[in-house]
Amino acid sequence: MELWDSDAVDLLGPAYIEINADGTGAFRFIAVEGNLDCRFNELEEGRALEFSWDGDDEGDPVSGRGWANFSPDGSLHGRFFFHLGDDSGFRATR
């Protein structure tokens, strides 16, 4: 993630993002864990998705939105937005 270093990102264990074919998903980074509600899009550049999310940050409720593009190499590039807060770009690999 561009905003936080890898030690912070993996604070509670390895960071991850999981996206299921039915549009649901889950993630964890820093002390934030949550669920995703995804919408898939087919673009000229390839497959993409937009999502809303909700979860908790050290027990406090948090929510937001985001987007991601699937790269030909199988990685996912996107951005997480916290409602009324920070945002950070990310890259995830399988």
Q: Is 7 helix (H, G, I), strand (E, B) or coil?
A: helix
Amino acid letter, 30:
I
Question: Residues 20-53: pLDDT tens digits?
Answer: 999 999 999 999 999 999 999 988 777 899 999 9
Distance of alpha carbon 30 from alpha carbon 72, whole angstroms: 27
User: How does pLDDT run across 79-91, given as a tens digit for each residue?
Assistant: 999 999 999 999 9
Amino acid occupying residue 35: N
**pTM (2 d.p.):** 0.88
Q: Are 69 and 80 in contact (CB under 8 A)?
A: no
